[in-house]
Chains A and B, each alone.
Chain A
Amino acid sequence: QVQVVQSGAEVKKPGASVKVSCKASGYAFNSYGISWVRQAPGQGLEWVGWSNPYNGNTRYAQKLQGRVTLTTDTSTSTAYVELRSLTSDDTAVYYCARDIGSAAFDQWGQGTLVTVSS
């Protein structure tokens, strides 16, 4: 069955970087995009960006452009999100999800809490 498993919680200081992983299994990794969505405590969902494992293409939310990088490793069916110059506003649960097209995400990881605190 399709599974998406993310790396564990992270605590970072302001100004640092964080990299979260997302390992997919049970389907052809190259055949679907991976989107990342974050959710600050008590807040709604916010789209972070999208990557295409087949050709490496990416798209990013405008407000994060320049601070975020999405990558994929097809040899291990793993996607990554790296966020730099962290501030307390980046404290959130970060989710990866399989993108089935039409901006629809059908399989979600369990979420990774990233806490930014001095």
Chain B
Amino acid sequence: QSALTQPASVSGSPGQSITISCTGTSSDVGAYNYVSWYQQHPGKAPILMVYGVSDRPSGVSNRFSGSKSGNTASLTISGLQPEDEADYYCSSQTTSSTVVFGGGTKLTVL
């Protein structure tokens, strides 16, 4: 199972919006609405930010939103804040009942 494809890095200024893409195949992202997004700060455990393509866990800011079209999912962060600077990972369930992660995207807040 190959990793999902994410851009290595994205950047934006405070207050701006950015979008991170996550491209898979019809055997993972395109198969189900089971895409999640995680935020990870250096040396810390990941935090679930979005699940089920577009649902947010309790406590996660509504500045974070998810969507999907075909085999590509996206995470949009609006109103960028300095504390949003982190690594972001997407994941998806596969048709083999396993889970595959993306390679990760480093977000820099300029």
Contact = CB atoms under 8 A, between A and B. Distances in A.
B51 A100 contact: yes
Interface string A38-68: 0000001111001000000001111000000
Nearest to A100: B51
A50 B1 contact: no
Contacts of A97: 46
Given A103-B91, A104-B36, A95 B46 contact: yes
B101 A46 contact: yes
Contacts, number: 66
A106 interface: yes
Interface residues of B, number: 28
B98 A59 contact: yes
Interface of A: 35, 37, 44-47, 50, 59-62, 95, 97, 100, 102-106, 108-111
26 contacts: A37-B101, A45-B46, A45-B91, A45-B101, A46-B101, A47-B91, A47-B99, A47-B100, A60-B98, A62-B1, A62-B96, A95-B45, A102-B33, A102-B36, A102-B51, A102-B52, A103-B92, A103-B93, A104-B36, A104-B48, A105-B38, A105-B46, A106-B51, A106-B57, A108-B45, A108-B46
Given A47-B101, A108-B47, 18 more contacts: A37-B46, A44-B89, A45-B40, A45-B91, A47-B98, A47-B99, A60-B98, A61-B1, A61-B98, A62-B1, A97-B46, A103-B34, A103-B36, A104-B36, A105-B36, A106-B48, A106-B57, A108-B45
